[in-house]
Amino acid sequence: MSNTSSFPLPPNLPVPVDDGACAHLTGIEVPSIPLSSTSGDPVDVSSLKGLTIIFCYPRTGAPGENIPESWNLIPGARGCTPQACSFRDTTSELRGLGVHHIFGLSTQDTAYQSEVKERLHLLYDLLSDEGLEWVHALELPTFEWDGKKLVKRLVIAVDDGKIIKTWYPVFPPDRSAQEVIEWLRGVGGAGK
């Protein structure tokens, strides 16, 4: 299994700024909206017991896809694969710190996500919100690119259906899982 350094980020990426778009999330219940999953079974995050970590990302590129410079210029857009790999490489540590469920979430379809899960050897499932139902219900921040609405990069900690912590903006993306680990260690590993 490769590590995140196999997917280096270009230098001088623009750093996203906290625009307050996630300030409303902490303390709210997640909506009961089943999401398509790479496991083949829909996942309703509101019904999951214990601590769940969901990292939301705009999109992963396809093998051989030429990433246009316009993508690199969007603050926080680049780095979905390094972020996914950061969670893959720390899955056992996160579980040891009390995380029951780990998911990645994007607006890409499940077939596309299944290829990503297999190619990157992800140890967790990816959730598709292709219809933006979950994104809109939670009023998550989005942006438009190439005619598509994409969710901005953020991480949500959910405990028994309630959001208890968010990380936004997330930068650099390859440190995303480590930030969650540092928080879990700081709160005694209980996520509360």
pLDDT digits (tens, 9 = 90+) for 146-159: 899 999 999 999 99
All domains of the chain in start order, with CATH? 40-62+71-186 (3.40.30.10)
4 or 124, which is more confident: 124
* pTM score of the predicted model: 0.92
At residue 131's C-alpha, the angle toward residues 35 and 57, to 5°, is 70
- Residue 95: HSE in the Cβ half-sphere, 13 Å Cα cutoff: 10
Q: What is the mean pLDDT of residues 68-81?
A: 90
